[in-house]
């Protein structure tokens, strides 16, 4: 265990749901590096088995069945929950899919771990629960008013977790963030279909195909909307730190972000700088429901968890994502 993990809790046996996905897989890697024993539970509907880090045990199955897939004899001490659907656009087009997977699945997980005697939980939530922001940057005290089913499902589970903490003494933390990007060692972002701006821009730069920018008439410095980005390695580390601060009967909530955001034009420029390719940007009309600016304050996480991003720059985020893109492209040939 390296010095970067100094001060993080001692060895535990942990369950990572959705550990074959982008964020879950990287968190599982960091947990193993910190000396923990890790079991990954994933149905592989959106994840990749090769994303599961070496050293982690793997159980193929759905979170709704955690109570039968595992037993109290497994002696799991805490759960980190990443298994869920994340595409906001898809949630609008197919809300049943998101409500079923995110809500019914997570409620079944909560009941399953309660029966297994597991009383510690870290939930990978989203800052989409806030909807159109009232203040910038968004703090944990701001009102929640999600504008799409994805955000609604995550808020529903946050509420359920609070009730489990109050009634059953569950110790839980929810981490809320917007756009996560970048890569960690050999692990990076892969979605099918891909909807996130950085991997889409990198692919457009590599393949010399048009890159679509939705809206250039926003009331921002360069006319494009502004979004909060966080490096996946920094995000993962926040989950490990949160494990060290769980308190029985308490549901803690932390926002994770850079506090100011980057515009879509800034993303384009950074992708061009990193790849050395000029993007063929095609302006499209604004998409319905796209807020002007989204940025989350992480002051509470810094103050209470001691979390400080080590890679806050957009150039670092895009650079690591580009390196991963090139590696996966080469290995697929």
Phi (first) and psi of residue 242, to 5 degrees: -65, -30
**254-to-4, 22, 76, 123, 235 alpha-carbon distances in Å:** 22, 20, 24, 11, 12
For 238, phi and psi rounded to 5 degrees? -65, -35
Q: Are the C-beta atoms of residues 172 and 124 closer than 8 Å to each other?
A: no
Question: Residue 15 pairs with which residues in a beta bridge?
Answer: 39, 79
**Environment class of 61 (CB within 10 Å of its CB; exposed 0-12, middle 13-18, buried 19+):** middle
Catalytic residue among 22, 130, 150, 177: 150
Catalytic-residue membership of 212: no
H or E stretch covering 121: strand 120-124
Contact 189, 274 (CB under 8 A): no
Q: Reduced to 3 states, what is the DSSP secondary structure of residue 181?
A: strand
Specify the 3-state DSSP secondary structure of 296: strand
Strand runs labelled E in 166-313:
171-177, 179-181, 210-214, 226-227, 229-231, 251-256, 262-263, 280-284
Counting DSSP H helices and E strands in the chain, the numbers are 11, 13
> Which residues are known to be catalytic?
150
């Amino acid at each position: 265990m390296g010095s970067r993990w100094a001060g993080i809790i001692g060895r535990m046996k942990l369950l990572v749901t959705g550990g074959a996905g982008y964020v879950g897989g990287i968190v599982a890697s960091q947990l193993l590096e910190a000396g923990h024993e890790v079991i990954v539970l994933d149905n592989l509907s959106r994840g990749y088995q090769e994303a599961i880090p070496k050293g982690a045990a793997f159980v193929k199955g759905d979170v709704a069945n955690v109570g039968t897939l595992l037993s109290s004899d497994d002696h799991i001490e805490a759960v980190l929950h990443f298994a869920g659907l994340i595409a906001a656009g898809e949630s609008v087009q197919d809300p049943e899919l998101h409500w079923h997977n995110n809500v019914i699945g997570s409620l079944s997980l909560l009941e399953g771990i309660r029966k297994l005697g597991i009383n510690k939980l870290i939930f990978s939530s989203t800052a989409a629960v806030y909807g159109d922001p009232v203040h910038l940057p968004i703090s944990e005290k701001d009102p929640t008013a999600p504008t799409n089913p994805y955000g609604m499902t995550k808020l529903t589970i946050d509420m359920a977790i609070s009730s489990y903490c109050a009634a059953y003494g569950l110790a839980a933390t929810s981490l809320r963030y917007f756009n996560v990007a970048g890569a960690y060692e050999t692990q990076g972002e892969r979605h099918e279909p891909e909807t996130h701006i950085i991997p889409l821009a990198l692919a457009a730069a590599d393949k010399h195909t048009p890159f679509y920018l939705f809206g250039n008439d926003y009331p921002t410095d360069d006319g494009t909307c502004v979004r909060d980005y966080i490096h996946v390695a920094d995000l993962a580390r926040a989950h490990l730190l949160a494990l060290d601060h769980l308190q029985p009967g308490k549901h803690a909530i932390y926002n994770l972000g850079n506090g100011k955001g980057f515009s879509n034009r800034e993303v384009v420029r950074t992708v061009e700088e990193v790849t050395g390719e000029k993007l063929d940007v095609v302006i499209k009309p604004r998409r319905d429901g796209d807020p002007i600016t989204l940025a989350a304050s992480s002051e509470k996480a810094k103050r209470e968890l001691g979390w400080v991003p080590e890679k806050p720059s957009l150039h670092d985020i895009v650079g690591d994502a580009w390196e991963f893109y090139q590696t996966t492209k080469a290995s697929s040939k």
